Amino acid sequence: MSARRFFRSPWRTAGYILLVIVTLLWLVPFGQAILTSFRSYDDIMIRGFFSWPRTISLNSYREAWIRGGLSRYLPNSFIITIPSLVLTLLFSSLSAYALARFRFPGNRALYFLYVGGTMLPFQVLMLPVFRLTNALGLYDTYWGLIAFHTAFQLGFCTFLLRNYMRTVPGEILEAARMDGCSEFRIWWQIMMPLTLPALAALATLEFTWIFNDYLWAIILLRSDQLKPVTAGLATLQGQYVTDWTVIVAGALIATVPTVIVFLFLQRYFIEGLTLGATK
Amino acid sequence: MSVKTFRFRLTPYFFFIGPLIIYSIWVIGPMIYTIYLSFTNWDGVSSPALIGWRNYQKLFRDPVFYISLTNNLKWMLCFITLPVIAGLALALVLNRNIPGAKFFKTSFYSPMVLSLVVCGLIWSWMYHPAKGLINETFRAINLDMLAKGWLSDHRLVMWAIIAVGVWRQVGYVMVLYLAGLQGIDPTLVDASKVDGCNQWQTIRHVILPLLSPVTVVVVVISIIDSLRAFDLVSVMTRGGPYYSSSVLANFMYIEAFNNYKMGYGAAISAILFLLSAIFIFIYLWRVLQTELEY
C-alpha cells in the first residue's frame, strides 16, 4: 500500500500517530540515558533534568572506563562469552546430530531432558553449582563460569539444532554413508555446513544471552579482576552511588558489544528467537 | 550381529556421550542435589548434615517467603497479560506493510539486547526521586502529587520493577507473534473476508485460533521468565524497602550468600523448582504432541 493511500483514512492516520507516540515513549529510556551521560551530575542536580546543559563532555565515560574499571570488565566479558559460545555450539551440534539422525532407545527421553532443562529457572541450580565449582577448584576462575554456561546453554542449542537438522533431507546423508564416509565426517563435512544458518542465528542469540548474564557471574566469581561487565556494573553502582551520570555512562558502554551484534546480525537474532519458539 | 552393524548401533552414543556427561554434571545432577541440600543445615563451609523437614517448617512460617511468593505471582500475572496483549496487538499492526514498519519493530525489540542489569540501572535513574525523568516530567506539568518515590514506597516498588520487565518483554512477544503470523496461510484470511467477515471477526475467529500454538509458547515462556526474576530486583532494590520487592530467587540468594543459610536457600529453590515443574510439564506435553504429528 502506498503511503498516500494509507493515510487517506482519518482513523488509520490517527492510529498511526498513536503508534508513533507509543514507539517514541518506548525509546525514552535510551534517550534520557544518552542525554544524562554527556552531562555532569552537579549540573542535573542543581538545575534539574529539563535544563539546558551547562557543559557537554565525555567525562562520565572516561570516569566509568578508567576509574570505574570498565576497561577491565568489558574484555572479561569476551573472555567468558566466546569460549562458552564455541563450546556449547560444538557440543550441542554433536548431541543434536545423534538425536536427529539416529533411532535408539531413549532418544525422545533425552530430547525431553534437554528441553525441560532449558525451561528451568536456573536459580534452582545456584547452590549445587556453587558447591561443585568449589569442589573442582574452579571457583573464582573463568573456567567455572565457562563450564556452566556451556552446559546450561546445551539444552536450548540441542533443542533448536535437533529440530533444524531434522529438516535436512536424509538422502544426502545416506548417499555419503553409501560412499563409505564415516559418521563423524558426515557430521562435520556435510551436516555442519548445512546447519550454518541455524548456527549463525543461535550464535547471535547465545552471544547476547551469555554476555548479559549477571547471576552466575556474581555467584561463581569473587575477584574484581575477573568480573564480566554485568557484575562490574553492579560494583560500579556501589562505588558511584551518588553519581548517576557515571553509572549511566557505564551502562551505555556495557551495551555497545551487544548492540553492535544486534545491528549487524539483527536478522539472525530474530531468526534464532523464532526458531526456538515456533518449532 | 556383525562387527559393522554393532559399530553402527553404537554410533549415536559416541555423539551424545560427551555433551550428556557435561549436561549431567552441571545441570541434571545439581537439580537433584538441590533437593537433597534442602533437607540439610549446610552453611557453605562445613559439610551438610541432614535435618529433615526443618528448613521447610521454618520457610512456611517465614513472612518474607509469602511476600516473595506473592511478588512472583504479581510478576507472573503482569507478564502473562500485558506483554502478551501488547505484543500481539503490535504484531497484528506491524505485520501489515505500514510505512516505517521496520523502524517500529526495531524500536520495540531493542530493549531485548540490553542486559537486565543495564535496564535496571537506566530505569533506576529514570525513577530517581529528585531528578529522575519521570518525577521531573510530573513536576514540569504541575502534577507534583504524581511525583513519587517509585523505588522507596513499599506499595509502588514492586510494580515499578515489573514495569521494567514488561518494557523489555513486549518486543520478545511481538517477535514470536510476527513469526506466527508469517506462518498463517493467507488464503484462509482471504476466504474469511469473502465470507463477509469484518476485520475484527477475521482476527477473532480466524487469526487468533491459528495463533494459539504461539500463545501457548508465549505464556509458558512468560511464566518461566517471571519465576526467573532476579537481576532487576538485585540491581534496583535488593528486595527492599523491608522486603517489599523481594522475589523468591532474590530471597534465596540473600539467605544463602549473605546469611550463609545455604540449606534454607535450597529449600526456597526446591519450591521454585516445584512451581516451574508444573509449567515445564505442560510445555513438554505440548512438545510431545507436535512430535507425534511427525
Residues 6+ apart with CB under 8 A from A164: A96, A195, A198, A275
pLDDT at B86 over 60: yes
Residue B146 sits at the chain A interface (C-beta within 8 Å): no
pTM: 0.90
Residue in B23, B137, B179 closest to A274 by CB: B179
Three-state DSSP string of chain A: CCHHHHCCCHHHHHHHHHHHHHHHHHHHHHHHHHHHHCCCHHHHHHHCCCCCCCCCCCHHHHHHHHCCCHHHHHHHHHHHHHHHHHHHHHHHHHHHHHHHHCCCCCHHHHHHHHHHHHHCCHHHHHHHHHHHHHHCCCCCCHHHHHHHHHHHHHHHHHHHHHHHHHCCCHHHHHHHHHCCCCHHHHHHHHHHHHCHHHHHHHHHHHHHHHHCCCHHHHHHCCCHHHCCHHHHHHHHHHHCCCCHHHHHHHHHHHHHHHHHHHHHHHHHHHHHHHHHHHC
State the average pLDDT over residues B6-29. 84
Q: What is the pLDDT of residue B21?
A: 93
Tell me whether A155 touches chain B (CB under 8 Å): yes
Q: Which of A9, A35, A49 to mutate to test the interface with B (most CBs of B within 10 A)?
A: A49
Question: Which amino acid, A107?
Answer: N
pLDDT, tens digit, 9 for 90 and up, residues B130-159: 888 898 889 888 888 888 888 888 899 999
- Candidates B121, B128, B180; nearest CB to A251: B121
Above 90 in pLDDT, residue B68?
Answer: yes
State the average pLDDT over residues B26-55: 89
Q: Across the interface, do A126 and B167 touch by the CB < 8 Å criterion?
A: no
For residue B40, is pLDDT > 60? yes
Indicate yes or no: CB of A49 within 8 angstroms of CB of B132: yes
Asked if B113 has any chain A CB less than 8 Å from its own CB, the reply is yes
Chain A residues with CB under 8 Å of B167 CB are 26, 29
Probe site for chain B from A36, A126, A213, A255 (most B CB atoms < 10 A): A126
C-alpha cell at B54: 526443618
Residue B6 pLDDT > 80: no
Q: Above 80 in pLDDT, residue B84? A: yes
Give the pLDDT confidence score for residue B286 in this predicted structure: 82
The pLDDT, as a whole number, for residue B1 is 43
Q: What is the pLDDT of residue A201?
A: 87
Per-residue pLDDT tens for A54-75?
888 888 898 889 888 899 999 9
User: Which residues in chain A have Cβ-Cβ distances shorter than 8 Å to B121?
Assistant: 233, 237, 247-248, 250-251
Q: Which of B7-16, B69-78, B116-125 has the lowest mean pLDDT?
A: B7-16
Smallest Cα distance from A29 to chain B, Å? 7
- Chain A CB within 8 Å of residue B249 CB: yes
Of A29, A97, A279, the CB nearest to B122: A29
**ipTM (interface predicted TM):** 0.90
Nearest CA in chain B to A37: B122
Measure the CA–CA gap between A279 and A201, rounded to whole angstroms: 15
The rounded percent of chain A whose pLDDT value lies above 70 is 97
From the list B22, B98, B279, the residue facing A151 with the nearest CB is B22
Residues 6+ apart with CB under 8 A from B107: A23, A26, A27
Name the closest residue on chain A to residue B271, using Cα atoms: A124
Q: Between residues 161 and 220 of chain B, which touch chain A (CB distance below 8 Å)?
A: 167, 172, 175-176, 178-180, 183, 213-214, 217-218, 220
Predicted confidence (pLDDT) at residue B42 exceeds the cutoff of 80: yes
> For residue A234, which residues of chain B lie inside 8 Å, CB to CB?
117, 234-235
Locate the chain B residue with the closest alpha carbon to A167: B294
pLDDT at A1: 54
Q: Is A98 on the interface with B (CB under 8 A)?
A: yes
Q: Is residue A45 within 8 angstroms of chain B, CB to CB?
A: yes
Chain B, residues 66-95, CB within 8 A of chain A, namely 93
A86 touches chain B (CB under 8 A): no
**How long is chain B?**
294
- Higher pLDDT: B53 or A45? It is B53
pLDDT less than 70: residues of chain A: 1-3, 276-279
pLDDT at B7 over 80: no
pLDDT above 90 as % of chain B? 49
- B101-109 vs A10-37: helix axis angle to the nearest 10? 40
Q: What is the pLDDT of residue B33?
A: 93
Mean pLDDT value of segment B51-80: 93
